Amino acid sequence: MSVAEEQVIQQEEENNNGLEAKFLSACYDGNSKLAQELVDQGVEIFCTDETGRSALHFAAASGDIETMDVVLKTGIPWNCLDYGGYSAGDYALQTANSQEAYDFLVSHGIRVELIMETLDKRSIPISTTEKQQGDFERDARDNTSSDIPNEDYLNKPIVYTGDRILDAQNNGVMMEWEQPLMAEHAKAICPTPGLKILNIGFGMGIVDREIQLHNPGQHVIVEAHPDVYKHIIETKFLEEHPTAKVIFGRWQDKLEEIKSYGPYDGIFFDTFGEYYADMQQFHEAIFASSEDKELGHNGSLLKKDGIYSFFNGLGGHSILFHDVYCEIAKAHLKALGLSTQYSPILTDGIDDNPEIWAGVNRPYWMLKKYNMPVCKWDI
């Protein structure tokens, strides 16, 4: 390459860098007109500053919705993160102090995810672990790589240690800080004594002990991990709670047995190592209509006046992700005939308490408010 050619390339790079800086500055200033002009001139829209902040982060920091709209229309993902793991939603709330700008991002995220799902472009990214945008196969508590989503988790030992269960990678399977949440879940699905309750996933048994405080008539538990099942037997949980029964195995393999004890007044879902798609599959299995008149509403596993809930760790590392995915889950459940209301529970102090997460590979909850889903038949 000649000296002249090198000089031309260097000049082009300087020009591009100048345009990129001007573009990011226009976004931060909320100058939608200039931002659009630079887009039309061919500026590199995926440029970032030294901290990984994109044009969307800067536009959100301005709080100007028109500028945010310009940026989003270029194709920059609504869920992009900077190097610190912060989304544009964080900048809209904390820098711009604009609920309107934040709500605009949430609405856009919901539309995009539902459209992309309809077009079958990708799975909806659901996560409670700290991962960068672009990793689209995610789940309700953790993720693995297997045709059976939680096969790796089920085939490796877990450890009960103090206030937590850890898997082989030191990921938190369940932790004691969840107790207040589980108490509310139990109260929601078992509001009166004598009801028939189904719980998928025992873990530390927190929600099951809370359910027992409400004196269920029958309490069916499905647990797939052999170490957890062994823990249930060794701690004499069934002997102490005669209305409880445990089905050992993956819920996918035990549907007929689960069905044989139904229909249920209350159902709770909280598994580890499964994808959000697996929870959708569970919803379709238990809420599907059938001709079986001995079952619940429309032949489903949930009675007409029954209540369903699930551990809502969806997007638990980002408030923007969480708010979008809560609405996605709500839309999916509505398509199955259920209405969903989220009851907020404060979790302030969980996210920034180093003692809680000490020794845990990836904190799965970093928000100050937990949205507890309460789902009923929409009739």
Q: What is the CATH number of the domain that holds 229?
A: 3.40.50.150
The 10 Å Cβ neighbour count of residue 333 is: 20
How many whole angstroms separate alpha carbon 138 and alpha carbon 276?
7
In a domain, 203, yes or no: yes
In a domain, 127, yes or no: no
Domain containing residue 27: CATH number? 1.25.40.20
Instruction: Examine the domain organization and report whether 156 and 271 are in the same domain.
Output: yes
What pLDDT, on a 0 to 100 scale, did the predictor assign at position 94?
A: 97
- 140 CB contacts (<8 Å, ≥6 apart)? 126, 128, 270, 271, 274, 275, 276, 279, 310, 311, 313, 314
In a domain, 297, yes or no: yes
* CA distances in angstroms from 214 to 188, 193, 221, 227, listed in the order given: 10, 6, 16, 27
How many whole angstroms separate alpha carbon 322 and alpha carbon 328?
10
Instruction: Examine the domain organization and report whether 113 and 160 are in the same domain.
Output: no
Low-confidence ranges of the chain (pLDDT < 70): 1-17, 118-149, 290-294
Instruction: Examine the domain organization and report whether 103 and 191 are in the same domain.
Output: no
Instruction: Examine the domain organization and report whether 25 and 161 are in the same domain.
Output: no
Instruction: Examine the domain organization and report whether 75 and 156 are in the same domain.
Output: no
220 by Cβ neighbours in 10 Å (0-12 / 13-18 / 19+) ranks as buried
What pLDDT, on a 0 to 100 scale, did the predictor assign at position 140?
A: 46
In a domain, 158, yes or no: yes
What would the two tokens of residue 79 be? 């869920």
Instruction: Examine the domain organization and report whether 218 and 366 are in the same domain.
Output: yes
Is residue 218 within 8 Å of 261, Cβ to Cβ? Answer: yes
Range of the domain at 101: 3-119
3-class SS at 77? coil
* Residues 43-53: b if buried by 16+ CB within 10 A, e if exposed: bebebbbeeeb
Instruction: Examine the domain organization and report whether 77 and 183 are in the same domain.
Output: no
Instruction: Examine the domain organization and report whether 180 and 82 are in the same domain.
Output: no
What would the two tokens of residue 355 be? 């003692």
If one counts the domains in the chain, the total is 2
Cα 61 from chain centroid (whole Å) = 25
What pLDDT, on a 0 to 100 scale, did the predictor assign at position 147?
A: 55
Is residue 200 within 8 Å of 269, Cβ to Cβ? Answer: yes
In a domain, 145, yes or no: no
In a domain, 140, yes or no: no
Q: Which stretches of the chain are DSSP H helices?
A: 3-29, 32-40, 55-62, 65-73, 88-94, 99-118, 151-154, 179-189, 206-212, 226-234, 237-240, 255-260, 276-287, 319-335, 354-357
Instruction: Examine the domain organization and report whether 192 and 337 are in the same domain.
Output: yes
Instruction: Examine the domain organization and report whether 108 and 165 are in the same domain.
Output: no
Instruction: Examine the domain organization and report whether 29 and 75 are in the same domain.
Output: yes
Domain boundary among 119, 137, 166: 119
In a domain, 144, yes or no: no
Instruction: Examine the domain organization and report whether 104 and 155 are in the same domain.
Output: no
Q: What is the pLDDT of residues 289-339, one digit of tens each?
A: 766 666 778 789 999 999 999 999 999 999 999 999 999 999 999 999 999
What would the two tokens of residue 295 be? 């079952």
How many whole angstroms separate alpha carbon 120 and alpha carbon 247?
35
Q: What is the pTM (predicted TM-score) of this model?
A: 0.86
In a domain, 340, yes or no: yes
